[in-house]
Amino acid sequence: MTFQVNEVTSFQITEKSKTDVISKLDWNKLYPLAGPVEILGAKAGDALVVDVIKVTPAKWGWSAIMPGSGLLEEFDKPYLHIWDLHDRTRAPFKNGISIPLRPFCGVHGVAPREPGYLETMPPGPHGGNMDNRHLTAGSRLLLPVWTEGALFSLGDLHAAQGDGEVCVTAVECPGEATIMFDVIKNLRLSSPQYIVHDDGKSKRGFYGTTGISPDLWEAAKQSVRQMIKHLCKEYHLTREEAYILCSVAADLRIHEIVDKPNWVVGTMIPLDLFPSNVG
């Protein structure tokens, strides 16, 4: 299924915009989503498999500093940078600096357990605005299903981003995302998990687990606990063995730190460590 993904401000920012647009944004128009899509047969307790087939950004994008948002409070004046994305592989910045493009959608989510209205950010156990830069084409995301039909939505397309998204924006842009779905029955995840390639540093990619909490320490603990649970189940390790393996071979990543009050921490372990016929 191919989604047409709107730009995150609903085109209040365009490729001709100047910095003064930042102070005029209507925040009620932010985070337009494509969806929801009902997944037939998906029920509470299942996992929705989201295979990212292709993500194509538009030929322009933007990044901004928005006072009151982001990690560093000393940046108290608006700032806007418009990116030229025509090259499709790298985007020029300044003084010969360019960045590689690795497009992904910042929002992947299902309907949450709780009824009623819920903002796209902050993220939660249902997914949402996780801003996990590793969910590029070829990745697989597992989302806990909390309601009948899952009701999947996505949006917030980025052409590139660093872990953390520290100034609160990535290279924001419109574009297209092609997704395939499947359902794993009765997997009973408590938070999203994923399989990604991570810039090719592991031939078989990485398996990742997440922790999402308003406390960064607690989010890290949740993430590692979920990885321990996964390793024990898939590779028949004891909890002690799995904990040691996490310490010597897994990486903790702050995927997203600026959508307060919840932070997203990932624990990523290389699949090259494990026999190819297991897991």
Q: How large is the average pLDDT for residues 62-72?
A: 92
User: Right CATH number for 2-8+42-273 from 3.40.50.1580, 2.60.120.580, 2.30.250.10, 3.30.420.40?
Assistant: 2.60.120.580
This prediction's pTM: 0.88
Mean pLDDT value across residues 14-31: 95
Place of tokens 């574009």: 175
**How far does the chain reach from its first CA to its final CA, in angstroms?**
27
- For residue 71, name the pLDDT band (cuts at 50, 70, 90): confident
For residue 119, what pLDDT band results from cuts at 50, 70 and 90?
A: confident
Check pLDDT > 90 for residue 116.
Answer: no
Domain ranges of the chain: 2-8+42-273
Q: Quick: pLDDT tens for 229-273.
A: 999 999 999 999 999 999 999 999 999 988 888 999 999 999 999
Q: E-assigned strands of the chain?
A: 2-5, 33-37, 47-57, 60-65, 79-84, 90-92, 98-100, 104-109, 127-129, 140-144, 152-158, 175-184, 193-196, 206-213, 251-256, 263-270
Q: How confident is the model at residue 225 (pLDDT cuts 50, 70, 90)?
A: very high
- Flag whether pLDDT at 279 surpasses 60: no
Quick check: 48 and 150 in contact, CB under 8 A?
A: yes
